[in-house]
Structure 1
C-alpha cells in the first residue's frame, strides 16, 4: 500500500507473490544481509490470498530488465483485507474505501464478491466494515 498508493503507515514486511521462487528468495536474503533486515522481510504468505484469476488490474510500479514489480490493485487489496477481517487492517480498509470512493458496506461486499466470487464474507468482516463506516 505504501509503494503504490502512498499510504502512510509502517510495516514489518512486504507481502509478495514472485517468480522464479528460489532466485527471488536468494536475492531477498542477500538484501536482508546487506541492509540488516530480518530474512523474512519479503513475505510470500499473501500468495494464498490472491484471487483465482489473479489481479488483472494490478498496476506496474517498476519495470526493468530482469525485474518487474506490480502492486495489487486497490480493489484486490480491499477484498483481501475485508475477507481477512482483522481489526488491525481497519485503517487500511478505511484508506482503500476512501481511495475507491465507496460509501457503503454493500458496495464493499459487492466488490468482494466480484474479486473473490467463491469466498463467503465472514460475519466478523461486517463488524469491521461497520466500524470503518461508523468512524469514517
Structure 2
C-alpha cells in the first residue's frame, strides 16, 4: 500500500494537530525540518512529500503528539521522523519559521544548510531537482561556491566524487539556462 503524500495543506494541518496536543499536555515543542518537507513549504518546488525529516524536542512529547496527529489524519506513524538527524550539521544556523504557535515552533532549515545536506547525499534521482532549485535560489553558479557552503556546515567531510559529478552536471545545466542557451 502506498503511503499518503503530504502537501502544504496537509503538513500545516498535521503541525496544527501536534501543536494542539502539546498545548493540552502543557508542553512547548520545537521541530526543525529538512528535506522534502522544507522543499514543499519554503520553496514550493514540490507538490508533496512522503514524510517530514526533522529534529524535534522534547522527543517523547512531540513523538506522542505526532502519533496522535497520524491517527486522526490516517497517516503512517513515520510521517514525522528523525531518521535524517545523522546527516544534519551540528551548526545548522537559523531557519525559516513555518509554524509559530505558543506550544510549537516549526522551523525549516536554512537554504544553505539544506543545499549542503543535499549535495552530500547526492542521490541523483531524489536530490538533483532539489539541488537545482537551491542553487538557483542562492544564485550560486560555481562549484567553488558550493564547496564553500558544504565546508561551512561539514568542515571535516570533503565532497565525494559522486557529489562533484552531480553538482557539476547541474551547474552546467543552470548556467546554460542563465546564459540563454
Question: What TM-score results when the alignment is normalised by the length of structure 2?
Answer: 0.71
CA-CA distance at 1:135 after TM superposition: 2.4
2:171 is equivalent to residue 133 of structure 1? yes
Count of aligned positions: 135
Question: What TM-score results when the alignment is normalised by the length of structure 1?
Answer: 0.93
Structure with max Cα Rg: 2
Residues 1:83 and 1:20: Cα distance change in structure 2 (over 3 Å)? same
Q: Which residue of 2 aligns with 1:91?
A: 129
CA-CA distance at 1:61 after TM superposition: 1.9
Q: Which residue of 2 aligns with 1:81?
A: 118
**Unaligned runs of at least 5 residues, structure 1:** none
**Unaligned runs of at least 5 residues, structure 2:** 1-38, 175-181
Residues 1:20 and 1:81: Cα distance change in structure 2 (over 3 Å)? same
SS of the residue aligned with 2:105?
strand
Cα deviations by residue, 1:10-55 (Å, 9 ceiling, x for unpaired): 31111111001011111111111111111111121121112122x2
Following the alignment from structure 1 to structure 2, what is the Cα–Cα distance between the partners of residues 27 and 60?
A: 20
Higher strand share: 2
Q: Which residue of 1 aligns with 2:49?
A: 11
